């Protein structure tokens, strides 16, 4: 509780920028694990992307996932994906021809007492799935381009670059979680991906806006380096970022852990997992990836190099005092 009160009052000064090696190492580890998952397991693409047949029907409550899967396997279906929501079952298979679909319908009718006409069937061609995938990539590309243009005009190109790196960081890690968990990637998942991109961007914009305001006052006689000023600005937005993230994550966690387990709303996990992971990673990246990267880029500018060199020549006590004074003013 004491730590929470100190954090809320702004009494804690975390050196986010100074610990960039720790953040980069952690991010590097997470990215390697995520890329390994994508290379080894790949993404479990839904039928909307790769094509296939979907069977939807009601079955007795005593039915189990194993029983439903065995019904399809006995009819020669390979690796059926079984999902349930209450007494409603949804089974995704590879693309089946008309004769195979009829055989499966009859098997479902026989095993679970369902009329053949009550077994809903949806067939999606591979070409249509490929078109959906292409449009999804196009949408992501347009989104990224819009972000770069907006941040370049509203702030500066280096802030745009730092934000884009953080967004890619969030996307890869979230995709890695899907690869290792085996969760199905559906159009709802893509909506979740786009949502977390917007959320991560919002967090980065809030931080960058404060950094822009603080660092605009830096001059040749400044008692702060760009790193110190940026870290000070980051600490001023810390409680806001954490509060926003917590308020957003709690309902998403409820959907993911309660909705999909207790209520059996299996289709919600396609969206909620992307949101849950993306929001956590997005908050982390805006604080520990985007800002340290921005500082690394900005500290190379002659103006800020001159400030850092002058403060370094005056000794560590002066530089430390300048940091404390700036914090007190904030």
Q: Which of 124, 140, 157 is the last residue of a domain?
A: 124
Residues 199 and 100 in one domain: no
Residues 85 and 24 in one domain: no
Q: What confidence score (pLDDT) does residue 324 get?
A: 43
Residues 305 and 216 in one domain: yes
Residues 82 and 203 in one domain: no
Q: What confidence score (pLDDT) does residue 241 get?
A: 76
Least confident interval from 53-67, 214-228, 242-256, 304-318: 304-318
Q: How far is CA 250 from CA 115, 122, 244, 256, in A?
A: 42, 35, 10, 10
Q: Domain holding 99: CATH number?
A: 3.30.70.3220
Q: Give the bridge partners for 44, in sequence order.
A: 184
Residues 235 and 93 in one domain: no
Please state the separation of Cα 223 from the chain's center in Å. 38
Q: How many CB atoms lie within 10 A of CB 251?
A: 11
Token pair 């069937």 is at which residue? 121
How far, in Å, CA of 165 to CA of 196, rounded? 14
How far, in Å, CA of 210 to CA of 12, rounded? 18
Are residues 193 and 270 in contact, defined by beta-carbon separation less than 8 angstroms? no
Q: Which helix (H) or strand (E) holds 94?
A: none
What residues contact residue 170 under an 8 Å CB cut-off, 6+ apart? 196, 197, 200, 278, 281, 282, 285
How does DSSP classify residue 184? E
Q: Domain holding 228: CATH number?
A: 1.20.1640.10
Which residue range forms the structural domain that includes residue 140? 13-45+128-329
Q: Which of 92, 124, 156 is the last residue of a domain?
A: 124
**pLDDT band at residue 80, thresholds of 50, 70 and 90?**
confident
The average confidence (pLDDT) of the chain is 79
Q: How many CB atoms lie within 10 A of CB 157?
A: 12
Residues 31 and 138 in one domain: yes
How far, in Å, CA of 46 to CA of 81, rounded? 10
Please state the separation of Cα 89 from the chain's center in Å. 29
Q: What confidence score (pLDDT) does residue 8 get?
A: 52
Tell me if 7 is assigned to some domain. Answer: no
Q: How far is CA 38 from CA 81, 140, 175, in A?
A: 20, 18, 8
Residues 113 and 231 in one domain: no
Token pair 């992501």 is at which residue? 140
Residues 309 and 258 in one domain: yes
Tell me if 158 is assigned to some domain. Answer: yes
* 248: its two tokens: 């957003």
**pLDDT band at residue 319, thresholds of 50, 70 and 90?**
very low
Residues 199 and 90 in one domain: no
Number of domains in the chain: 2
Give alpha helix (H) positions in the chain. 2-8, 20-40, 47-50, 65-73, 98-112, 126-154, 157-181, 187-215, 226-236, 238-253, 268-285, 291-298, 302-314, 316-329
Tell me if 4 is assigned to some domain. Answer: no
Q: What confidence score (pLDDT) does residue 172 get?
A: 92
Q: Which of 93, 124, 155 is the last residue of a domain?
A: 124
Least confident interval from 57-61, 185-189, 322-326: 322-326
pTM for the full model? 0.75
Strand order in the sheet with 52-58: 81-85, 88-93, 52-58, 120-124
**pLDDT band at residue 266, thresholds of 50, 70 and 90?**
low
Determine the Cα angle at 19 with ends 14 and 25, to 5°: 135
Q: What is the pLDDT of residues 81-101, one digit of tens each?
A: 887 766 788 888 887 888 888
Tell me if 8 is assigned to some domain. Answer: no
Residues 167 and 93 in one domain: no
- Residue 149: pLDDT over 60: yes
Q: What confidence score (pLDDT) does residue 12 get?
A: 63
Residues written for the chain: 330
Q: How far is CA 52 from CA 235, 237, 300, in A?
A: 50, 48, 53
Are residues 109 and 121 in contact, defined by beta-carbon separation less than 8 angstroms? no
Least confident interval from 82-91, 128-137, 181-190: 128-137
Residues 208 and 289 in one domain: yes
Tell me if 3 is assigned to some domain. Answer: no
Residues 223 and 96 in one domain: no
């Amino acid at each position: 509780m004491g730590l929470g009160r100190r954090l809320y009052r702004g009494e804690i000064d975390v050196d986010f920028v100074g610990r960039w090696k720790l953040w980069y190492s952690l991010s590097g580890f997470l990215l390697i694990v995520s890329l390994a998952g994508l290379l080894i397991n790949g993404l479990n693409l839904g039928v909307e992307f790769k094509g296939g047949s979907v069977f939807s029907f009601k079955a007795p409550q005593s039915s189990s996932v194993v029983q439903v899967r065995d019904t399809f396997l006995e009819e020669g279906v390979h690796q059926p994906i079984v999902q349930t929501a209450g007494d409603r079952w949804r089974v995704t298979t590879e693309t089946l021809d008309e004769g195979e679909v009829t055989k499966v319908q009859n098997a479902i009718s026989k095993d679970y007492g369902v009329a053949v006409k009550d077994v809903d069937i949806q067939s999606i061609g591979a070409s249509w799935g490929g078109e959906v995938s292409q449009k999804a990539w196009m949408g992501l590309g347009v989104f990224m381009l819009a972000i770069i243009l907006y941040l370049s005009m509203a702030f500066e190109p280096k802030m745009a670059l730092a934000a884009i790196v953080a967004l890619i960081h969030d996307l890869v890690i979230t995709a890695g979680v899907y690869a290792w968990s085996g969760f199905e990637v559906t159009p709802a998942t893509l909506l979740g991906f786009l949502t977390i991109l917007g959320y991560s961007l919002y967090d980065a914009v809030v931080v960058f806006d404060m950094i822009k305001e603080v660092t605009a006052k830096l001059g040749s006689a400044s008692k702060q380096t760009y790193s110190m000023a940026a870290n000070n600005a980051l600490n001023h937005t810390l409680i806001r970022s954490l509060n926003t993230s917590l308020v957003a994550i709690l309902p998403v966690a409820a959907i993911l852990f309660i909705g999909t387990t207790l209520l059996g709303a299996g289709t919600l996990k396609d969206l909620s997992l992307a949101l849950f992971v993306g929001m956590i990673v997005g908050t982390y990246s805006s604080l520990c990836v985007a800002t340290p990267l921005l500082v690394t880029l900005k500290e190379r500018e002659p103006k800020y190099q001159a400030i850092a060199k002058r403060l370094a020549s005056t000794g560590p006590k002066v530089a430390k005092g300048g940091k404390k004074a700036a914090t007190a003013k904030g």
